[in-house]
């Protein structure tokens, strides 16, 4: 089959591939291990000239246009990065005095979280101060100063965290593009320095106006609803901040597949627009003089655009909300222009607008999942998927009259309910199928009962909770919010109960191996091919989609995880469980490692609770030995500062899996407990003088500085400071694969060591 005729026949669909190529250019920019030269900015103008010159060439012109879109995406991401001037904190600080302007306050189960602008940090030069910092304080949300006040805290600051493992979620990159240069904790109560700090720009005052409105709505919600879980989730839907929701509720929402209801995105924004558009159009239709002389649908659509914009600002204008507002606004604008209200061309225009203005959003799970769901649903709508499924046609009943049998449609009300239920089932199935690869790629989970939970929760959200929230917004200026908030809280309570019930079902949340980049790319190629073309050749996209299902055969999970900042590590044991060492059991880093490993059962250990010896792991004091196959790894923790040990023996790999303590020869007295030399020490042939003593394990992981050791692969404090968190993958008949976060991350403007001499 020659694809060229099919390609030329679908010329009107070529435009739909431009955002795909632009997203590819953005992804290519962020995948680079280095920052590209400014000379790359010349690529877009050059390709634009070539594309214009080839405008009459039937095959060259679309190919050059695709390359131009790729270059535009690459250059847009490069430009966005270059325009950000806010530095990231270079290193943690001791407790220090910080004064900043309070521009956002968010409630938490204990205390509050504040975003401070233009902070003054004691003893820190102006050029090193971040533009924004985010700190946690003990002060309850109800007692915080007014937004815009100049406040004073005292406590430590930390730079944004590196990924917990190579290829993990990059918190530093997210903070860089949000211009949040540090996080912190206040050891003392918040103090107000100036009640109202003067704003320099109109936008600052505009932002503070909506921040005050969000605070007022949250306080109204807290005062009206008594149940802590219901008021926290209702406040999240009103203000856009989820920080007040407790961990148990959040986990139930995730496990049931309903966590997307907490993020103000497509469901909320589109429903808010409909709640304005439909009643207003109906109300205007009651006046014949207006309805017969004016296009009332255009009036209603324009009002819905205004309402959607205000709603977006009220909930914080986060990236998912802005994307949804743009999509909804384009739909309403199409109604005003008497055009088709929902088409793939509108989806493409919305994607292009977002990628040109905020290219970094493309790398986030929210952008990818929301556009994947919308693209799949609109494509299914265009191809009349429901019409191809005969079992979802109008239901009929058999009626016997005068000896004959005929089929008769059910009454209108029953048919409407059937079609509503059918639409929910179809949209849930389509959206789940389109977003599942992204869920596995970013979170390594699959919600087995997500379709069932959404079939019950989405109607309740759209038909009850969202109308109550709209009435709350309308009644807030007049203080008439009690009954609307009570109604919203009642609906939210049912959703929470539903989430907990579904999360308790067996296999509600399945943990899967992480989806590699090649598998996601393969799925995207097949998905775009299937959705964007119209001819029969589009079914060729099913082949790469099918190949994605075989990705677990190519995935190897690391056996050892090592944190960079603290003596925290974890290893996989032969029985399928994980052993983790750290000061606290509930450690966020260890949780990330478990998620990456398929959520195995984990046993937590610390200096006070050491594991008994088995064939995989044995600990003694501040040393632990891990063995797998013919590879042995020793972990050396910082020694306790109590009294110096004088033992002359040390743990080395026991032969044949037997736990033994073998004596080592000490060369000198007084060198400390970490200076050992095995009796069968190998001769040193290097020019550098060998250390007095060295472990004989294959790999040594030390959270302390160590001298060079020729007979072991050393991952010590210097290596951790330079490379960040490490993973070790052990494969039979192959050398250990050691990967560091910053090795995989490269040197980028958001990386540790950017424009410094910290890394070679």
Calculate the alpha carbon distances from 119 to 125, 175, 736 in Å. Answer: 11, 16, 45
Residue 408 pLDDT: 56
Domain contains 679: yes
Residue 422 domain-assigned (yes or no):
no
Assess whether 16 and 154 both reside in one domain. no
Residue that finishes a domain, picked among 164, 198, 232: 198
% of the chain with per-residue pLDDT over 90: 51
Determine, yes or no, domain membership for 686.
yes
pLDDT in tens, 89-105: 988 999 999 999 999 99
Same domain, 695 and 732: yes
Residue 611, pLDDT score: 67
* Predicted confidence band of residue 219 (pLDDT cuts 50, 70, 90): very high
* Predicted structure pTM score: 0.85
Residue 371 resides in a domain? no
Report if residue 740 sits inside a domain.
yes
Helix, coil or strand: residue 480: coil
pLDDT band for 688, please (50, 70, 90 cuts). Answer: very low
pLDDT digits (tens, 9 = 90+) for 696-731: 889 999 988 888 888 889 999 999 999 999 999 998
| Model confidence pLDDT, tens digit, residues 494-524 | 999 999 999 999 989 999 999 999 999 999 9
Q: Which of 42-51, 396-405, 441-450 has the lowest mean pLDDT?
A: 396-405
Report pLDDT digits (tens) over 4-25. Answer: 667 777 888 899 999 999 999 9
Do 41 and 158 lie in a common domain?
no
Residues 607, 712, single domain; the answer is yes
pLDDT at site 393: 53
| Beta strands per DSSP E along 43-131 | 96-107, 112-121
Residues 604 and 634 in one domain: yes
Domain assignment present for residue 293? The answer is no
- Asked if pLDDT for residue 562 goes beyond 90, the answer is yes
Q: How many domains does the chain have?
A: 4
Highest mean pLDDT among 279-283, 387-391, 708-712: 279-283
Q: What is the CA radius of gyration of the chain?
A: 30
How much is the mean pLDDT over the chain?
84
Question: What is the per-residue pLDDT for 727?
Answer: 95
Q: Check whether 686 has a pLDDT greater than 60.
A: no
- Judge whether 37 and 74 are in contact, CB under 8 Å: no
191: CATH = 2.40.50
Q: How far from 271 is each of 266, 274, 366, 371, CA to CA, in Å? A: 8, 5, 19, 17
Task: Give 640-657 pLDDT, tens digit per residue.
Answer: 543 333 333 333 333 333
Residue 125 confidence class, pLDDT cut points 50, 70, 90: very high
Residues 587 and 732 in one domain: yes
Asked whether residue 169 is assigned to any structural domain, the reply reads: yes
> Given this model, what pLDDT does residue 200 score?
64
Q: What is the structure's pLDDT at 132?
A: 95
**Amino acid 390: pLDDT:** 46
Instruction: Quote the pLDDT of residue 599.
Output: 83
Instruction: Give the pLDDT score at 677.
Output: 34
Asked, for residue 78, whether it belongs to a domain, the answer is: yes
Identify whether residues 740 and 601 lie together within a single domain: yes
CA separation for the pair 659, 645 (Å, rounded):
21
Same domain, 523 and 633: no
Residue 82 pLDDT greater than 70, yes or no: yes
Domain end position, chosen among 497, 527, 554: 554
Q: How far is CA 237 from CA 103, 208, 308, in A?
A: 20, 19, 14
628 plus 608 within the same structural domain: yes
What number is the average pLDDT over the span 392-401? 53
Condensed to tens digits (0 to 9), the pLDDT of residues 724-752 reads: 999 999 988 889 999 999 888 888 999 88
What is the pLDDT, as a whole number, of residue 403?
Answer: 59
Domain that holds residue 543: 517-554
How confident is the model at residue 749, as a pLDDT?
92
Q: Hey, which residues does 112 pair with through a beta bridge? A: 107, 137
pLDDT at 689 over 60: no
Residues ≥6 apart with Cβ < 8 Å to 487: 464, 468, 471
Q: Do residues 596 and 641 share a domain? A: yes
Task: Looking at the structure, tell me whether residues 33 and 120 fall in a common domain.
Answer: no
pLDDT of residue 384: 63
Do 523 and 596 reside in the same domain of the chain? no
pLDDT value at position 398? 53
- Listing DSSP states for 136-159 in one string gives EESS-GGGPPPTT-EEEEEE-EEP
| Residue pair 693/664 in contact by the 8 Å Cβ criterion | yes
Q: How confident is the model at residue 691 (pLDDT cuts 50, 70, 90)?
A: very low
């Amino acid at each position: 089959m020659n694809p060229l005729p099919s390609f030329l026949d679908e010329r009107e669909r070529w435009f739909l591939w431009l955002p795909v190529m632009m997203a590819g250019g953005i992804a290519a920019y962020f995948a680079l291990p280095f920052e590209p030269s400014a000379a790359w900015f010349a690529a877009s103008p050059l390709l634009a000239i070539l594309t214009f010159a080839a405008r009459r060439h039937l095959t060259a012109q679309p190919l050059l246009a695709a390359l131009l879109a790729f270059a535009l995406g690459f250059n847009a991401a490069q430009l966005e990065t270059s325009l950000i001037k806010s530095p990231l904190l270079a290193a943690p600080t001791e407790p220090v005095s910080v004064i900043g302007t309070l521009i956002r306050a968010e409630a938490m189960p204990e205390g509050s979280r504040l975003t401070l602008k233009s902070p003054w940090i004691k003893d820190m030069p102006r050029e090193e101060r971040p533009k924004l910092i985010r700190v946690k304080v003990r002060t309850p949300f109800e007692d915080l100063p007014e937004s815009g006040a100049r406040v004073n805290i005292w406590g430590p600051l930390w730079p944004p965290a590196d990924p917990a493992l190579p290829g993990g979620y990059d918190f530093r990159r997210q903070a860089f593009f949000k211009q949040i240069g540090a996080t912190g904790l206040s050891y003392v109560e918040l103090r107000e320095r100036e009640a109202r700090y003067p704003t320099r720009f109109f936008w600052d005052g505009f932002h503070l106006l909506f921040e005050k409105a969000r605070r007022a709505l949250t306080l109204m919600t807290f005062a009206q609803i008594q149940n802590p879980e219901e008021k926290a989730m209702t406040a999240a839907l009103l203000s856009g901040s989820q920080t007040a929701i407790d961990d148990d509720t959040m986990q139930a929402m995730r496990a049931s597949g309903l966590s997307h209801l907490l993020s103000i995105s497509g469901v909320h924004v589109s429903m808010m627009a409909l709640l304005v558009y439909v009643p207003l159009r109906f109300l205007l239709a009651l006046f014949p003089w207006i309805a017969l002389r004016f296009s009332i649908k255009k009036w209603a659509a324009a009002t819905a655009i205004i309402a959607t914009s205000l709603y977006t600002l009220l909930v914080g204008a986060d990236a998912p909300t802005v994307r949804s507002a743009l999509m909804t606004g384009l739909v309403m604008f199409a109604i005003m222009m008497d055009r088709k209200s929902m088409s793939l061309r509108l989806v493409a225009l919305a994607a292009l607008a977002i990628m040109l203005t905020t290219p970094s959003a493309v790398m986030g799970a929210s952008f990818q999942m929301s556009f994947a769901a919308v693209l799949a649903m609109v494509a299914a709508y265009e191809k009349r998927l429901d019409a191809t499924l005969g079992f979802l046609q109008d239901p009929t009943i058999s009626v016997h009259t005068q000896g004959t049998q005929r089929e008769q449609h059910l009454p209108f009300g029953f048919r409407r309910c059937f079609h509503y239920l059918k639409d929910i089932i179809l949209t849930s199935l389509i959206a789940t199928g389109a977003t599942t690869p992204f869920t596995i790629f970013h979170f390594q989970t699959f919600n087995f009962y997500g379709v069932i939970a959404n079939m019950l929760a989405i109607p309740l959200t759209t038909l009850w909770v969202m109308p109550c929230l709209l009435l709350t917004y309308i009644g807030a200026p007049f203080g008439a919010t009690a009954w609307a908030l009570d109604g919203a809280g009642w609906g939210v309570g049912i959703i929470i109960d539903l989430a907990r019930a579904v999360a308790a079902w067996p296999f509600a949340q399945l943990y899967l191996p992480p989806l590699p980049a090649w598998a996601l790319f393969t799925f995207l190629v097949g998905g775009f091919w299937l959705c964007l073309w119209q001819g029969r050749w589009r079914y060729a996209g099913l082949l790469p989609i099918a190949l994605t299902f075989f990705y677990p055969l190519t995935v190897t999970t690391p056996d050892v995880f090592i944190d960079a900042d603290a003596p925290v590590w974890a290893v996989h044991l032969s029985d399928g469980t994980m052993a983790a060492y750290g000061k606290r059991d509930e450690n966020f880093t260890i949780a990330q490692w478990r998620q990456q490993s398929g959520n195995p059962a984990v046993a937590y250990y610390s200096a006070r609770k050491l594991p008994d010896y088995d064939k995989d792991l044995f600990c003694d004091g501040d040393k632990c030995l891990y063995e797998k196959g013919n590879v042995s790894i020793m972990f050396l923790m910082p020694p306790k500062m109590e009294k110096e040990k004088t033992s002359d023996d040390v743990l080395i790999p026991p032969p044949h899996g037997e736990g033994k303590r073998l004596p080592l020869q000490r060369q000198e007295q007084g060198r400390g407990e970490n200076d050992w030399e095995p009796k069968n020490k190998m001769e040193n042939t290097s020019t550098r003088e060998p250390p007095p003593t060295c472990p004989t394990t294959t790999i040594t992981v030390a959270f302390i500085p160590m001298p060079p050791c020729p007979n072991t692969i050393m991952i010590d404090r210097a290596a951790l400071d330079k490379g960040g968190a490490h993973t070790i993958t052990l494969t039979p008949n192959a050398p250990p694969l050691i990967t560091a976060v910053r090795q995989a991350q490269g040197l980028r403007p958001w990386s540790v060591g950017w424009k410094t001499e910290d890394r070679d």
